[in-house]
Each structure stands twice: as structure tokens, then as C-alpha cells.
């Protein structure tokens, strides 16, 4: 089944003139982090690797990690020498502290938490948990840039925290390590520059998105191209026998940590661009888009909305939903130039996944719909209409 679409481009955020040559925003990204002891890295994975060295996890210490994970955040931990001990994350993406408590041993040194899609974990309870068990708290905010909980910015509570700018902003690269615990302050971290050659693929992707967003003719041609190339893929997904060589297929190779990136800094181009993003504007646009899509999709019995409320302070990364036939739905949305993602499909091969059915459920059934700051309310209407039509017919 093909759905005709020459109407709009709902792909990733792309480059715009404002991003490249606009004025420096007063409330820019650097202003958001003012007062923090922060290191700007090429990727969040670089920051995670260094945090292991600061907290002594590179000497074989145990770290409690979330069972629902991408895997790209776990690999630098494992390659640092830390022993990973998963704890349960439920189907609503909430940490199970009772299960985590059962995993604590005399060797446990840290608790790693993830704020999924910009929605905070219960930080007060987590802080108390770490205090009782004498654990470092590693706070992963890669999906939670510009979010806060009870007027406390996410990333300021953990002993260390991590950010990934490319997930929220159309930058060439960029991650960050924040060190909040004075006991972990060490000598200045010497970071080296990244070559522009390694950024070319990302540059082209951002340029493509920018062109498609602002050129209706380009979007029309691109839609026809997608219809031609992805109809075969959809037919394959729909008609192929349900044979799976593995219940837990490996995650993509590029999710694993590339040790050549150790000590690589964020590029100068990204630093230049980040001065031109207004975080207040981005927060407002993302929240408005989330609420608009929530209103359009609420009540549909075939679409399970993961977060049916948007708490104050949350800057949502995406709009996560649970659907049946996730891969087919994703393929059909992608065919319409809608940047729907089968979120975190694939499994990190260092864990015993059979013990964590809730995490596996999320990995197999969750779709992330775009709600980023480049999308208009009419774009969100288009996404909702196409998704509802697909769910009614699939």
C-alpha cells in the first residue's frame, strides 16, 4: 500500500540561514550551561568514557545500568573496564529502584540513569538511593537537552552528566560532560580537534533536510523517489515469513564505541552554530508541537502514547508511541518523508536480554515521531493524518 504524498517534508531538522549566519542569541546553548564545569566533546560517548576514568570505574568496578538502552552509551563503559549490571526499566520508561537495590553489591560504584525522551526520572528518590548505597550518580541527558524537573535543570543533579547536542539541534557534532561533584574535579582535560572529513556525512544530511524543508519542488521530487524505492521494502516487510535468526539482533556497528575518538573535542563549526540557537524558542516550539500531536492522537485505540501528559519543564525530544507492526508502520511513514524512527532497534551484545522483557518490548514496539522545532502545526497535522490512515489500514 502506498500513500501519495507531495505535501510536506517532515524529516529531521536541517540547516537554515539563521543557524549559519543569524545573530548570536542571548539565551543560547552556552548560556544554558553557564556556571557548569563542562567539557564540550565530539560525541556524548567520549564524555562517558572520560567519566569512567574520573569515577574510578576503569578499575573493574560495577555500575548499575538501565536495561532499556541504546547500547552506544554502554559500550564506552564496558570498554573502560567497568562491569555492567542491568536493572529493570518498566514499559513506561521508569527506573525500578527496588530491582536496582537487589543488584547492589560491595563492588558497586555507580548508578547510571537515563532521562528518556526529555522526561525526567524521579531524581529525589534516586539521589536518596545513591546516598544510602554510597554510589556515584551518572546522569544521561543525551535525550533531555533543555529539560528540567521542579525548576532544577537535568544534568545538574548527578555527580557527572552527559549531553548529545545532535539529537536536539541541527549541528555537525557535539556532546558534553558536566562534572558536578567537586571530588571528581581533576586536572584540565586536554581535548584535540576533530577533522572536518569526519563530519562530511552529517553536513550533507543537514543540507539535504534544509533544502527539502524550504523547497516544495525538491520535496515533491524526494517524495516520488521515496515512493519508488521504499515500496519494495514495504512489500518485503509485509510478505516475508516471520523468521528471525535471533530474538536479539545486534545493534548497528556504528553504535559501538570507536576508540580513535577518545579525547576528541566538539568542532569549531558546531561551537559557532550553538551560539545562534535560542533555547527558550526551541523549548516552546517542541512543547507546543508535542501537545498538538498529543491532542490529535489521544483516544486512538491502536496508538499507545507513552507519555500522555507533558509535565512542566520538559523539553520533549520526540513523540514516542507503541504500535503493533512497528517496522511496517515506520517504513510507511518514512515513505512519506516523515522521520519516524524504530527507536533503539537492535541489542547490545553484552547483556542477557531474556531477563528484561519490558526493555525488549520497548525495543520491538516503540516508534519516535518527530516534533522538533522546524516543524509547524500543519506539519504535525500531516503526521497525525498519515499515521491514523496507516493504522486503520495496516
Where are the chain's structural domains?
A: 17-196, 200-250+278-393
Q: Round to whole Å and give the CA distance between 310 and 294.
A: 9
Torsion of CA 247, 248, 253, 258, to 10 degrees: -170
Q: Which three cell numbers stand for residue 286?
A: 517542541
DSSP tag of 189:
P
**What residues have CB less than 8 Å from 306, skipping those under 6 apart?**
92, 93, 117, 320, 321, 322, 366
Radius of gyration for the alpha carbons in the chain, expressed in angstroms and rounded: 21
Cell readout for 71 is: 547500547
DSSP lists the bridge partners of residue 393 as none
Residue pair 177/171 in contact (Cβ under 8 Å)? The answer is no
Is the separation of the CB atoms in 358 and 67 below 8 Å? yes
User: Which three cell numbers, joined as nine digits, stand for 16?
Assistant: 537554515
Q: What pLDDT is stored for residue 371 in this prediction?
A: 98
The matching CATH number, chosen from 3.40.640.10, 1.25.40.10, 3.20.20.70, 3.30.1600.10, for 17-196 is 3.40.640.10
From residue 327, give the alpha-carbon distance in Å to each of 176, 323, 330, 359: 32, 9, 5, 17
CA 82, distance to chain mean position in Å, is 23
Tell me what pLDDT residue 1 has: 38
Among the listed residues 67, 84, 270, the one whose alpha carbon sits nearest the alpha carbon of residue 163: 270
What is the Cα–Cα distance from 281 to 31, expressed in whole angstroms? 14
Fold of 200-250+278-393: 3.90.1150
How many CA atoms does the CB half-sphere of 357 hold within 13 Å?
A: 0
Predicted pLDDT at 391: 96
- Common-topology check for domains 17-196 and 200-250+278-393: no
For residue 213, the model assigns a pLDDT of 80
pLDDT for 17: 84
Contacts 24+ apart (CB under 8 A), 226-234: 226/334, 226/335, 226/336, 226/337, 227/2, 227/4, 227/5, 227/335, 230/331, 230/334, 230/335, 231/2, 231/335, 233/331, 234/1, 234/2, 234/328, 234/331, 234/332, 234/335
Residues 140, 112 contacting (CB under 8 angstroms): yes
Predicted TM-score (pTM) of the model is 0.92
pLDDT of the residue at 15: 87
The three grid cell numbers given for residue 127, joined into one nine-digit string:
539521589
Per-residue pLDDT for the chain (394 aa), expressed as one digit of tens each? 344 444 588 999 998 888 888 899 999 999 999 999 999 999 999 999 999 989 888 778 899 999 999 999 999 999 999 999 999 999 999 999 999 999 999 999 999 999 999 999 999 999 999 999 999 999 999 999 999 999 999 999 999 999 999 999 999 999 999 999 999 998 789 999 999 888 999 999 998 888 888 776 666 666 656 665 655 555 655 565 554 568 899 999 999 999 999 999 999 999 999 999 999 999 999 999 999 999 999 999 999 999 999 999 999 999 999 999 999 999 999 988 899 999 999 999 989 999 999 999 999 999 999 999 999 999 999 999 999 999 998 8
pLDDT value at residue 2: 41
Three-state DSSP at 152 gives strand
Furthest C-alpha separation in the chain: 63
Amino acid at each position: 500500500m502506498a500513500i501519495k504524498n507531495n505535501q510536506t517534508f517532515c524529516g529531521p531538522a536541517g540547516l537554515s540561514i539563521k543557524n549559519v549566519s543569524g545573530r548570536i542569541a542571548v539565551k543560547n546553548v552556552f548560556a544554558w550551561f553557564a556556571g557548569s564545569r563542562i567539557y564540550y566533546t565530539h560525541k556524548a560517548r567520549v564524555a562517558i568514557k572520560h567519566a569512567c576514568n574520573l569515577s574510578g570505574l576503569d578499575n573493574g568496578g560495577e555500575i548499575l545500568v538501565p536495561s532499556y538502552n541504546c547500547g552506544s552509551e554502554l559500550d564506552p563503559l564496558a570498554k573502560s573496564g567497568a562491569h555492567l549490571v542491568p536493572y529493570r526499566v518498566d514499559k513506561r520508561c521508569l527506573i525500578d529502584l527496588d530491582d536496582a537495590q537487589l543488584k547492589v553489591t560491595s563492588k558497586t560504584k555507580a548508578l547510571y540513569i537515563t532521562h528518556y525522551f526529555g522526561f525526567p526520572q524521579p531524581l529525589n528518590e534516586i539521589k536518596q538511593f545513591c546516598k544510602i548505597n554510597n554510589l556515584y550518580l551518572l546522569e544521561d541527558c543525551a535525550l533531555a537537552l533543555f529539560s528540567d524537573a521542579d525548576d532544577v535543570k537535568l544534568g545538574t543533579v548527578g555527580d557527572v552528566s552527559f549531553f548529545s547536542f545532535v539529537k536536539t539541534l541541527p549541528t555537525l557534532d557535539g556532546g558534553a560532560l558536566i562534572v558536578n561533584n567537586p571530588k571528581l574535579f581533576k586536572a584540565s582535560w586536554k581535548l584535540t580537534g576533530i577533522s572536518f572529513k569526519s563530519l562530511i556525512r552529517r553536513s550533507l544530511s543537514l543540507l539535504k533536510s534544509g533544502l527539502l524543508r524550504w523547497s516544495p519542488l525538491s520535496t515533491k521530487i524526494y517524495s516520488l523517489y521515496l515512493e519508488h524505492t521504499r515500496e519494495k521494502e514495504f512489500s518485503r516487510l509485509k510478505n516475508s515469513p516471520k523468521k528471525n535468526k535471533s530474538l536479539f539482533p545486534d545493534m548497528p556497528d556504528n553504535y559501538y564505541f570507536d576508540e580513535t575518538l577518545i579525547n576528541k573535542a566538539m568542532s569549531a563549526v558546531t561551537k559557532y552554530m550553538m551560539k545562534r540557537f535560542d533555547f527558550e524558542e526551541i523549548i516552546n516550539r517542541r512543547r507546543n508541537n508535542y501537545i498538538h500531536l498529543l491532542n490529535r492522537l489521544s483516544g486512538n485505540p491502536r496508538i499507545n502514547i507513552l507519555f500522555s501528559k507533558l509535565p512542566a519543564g520538559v523539553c520533549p525530544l520526540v513523540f514516542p508511541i507503541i504500535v503493533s507492526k512497528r517496522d511496517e508502520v515506520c517504513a510507511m511513514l518514512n515513505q512519506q518523508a516523515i522521520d519516524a524512527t524504530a527507536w533503539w532497534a537492535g541489542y547490545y551484545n553484552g547483556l542477557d536480554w531474556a531477563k528484561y522483557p519490558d526493555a525488549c518490548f520497548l525495543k520491538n514496539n516503540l516508534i519516535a515521531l518527530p516534533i522538533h522545532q522546524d516543524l509547524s502545526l500543519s506539519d504535525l497535522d500531516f503526521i497525525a493524518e498519515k499515521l491514523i490512515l496507516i493504522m486503520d489500514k495496516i
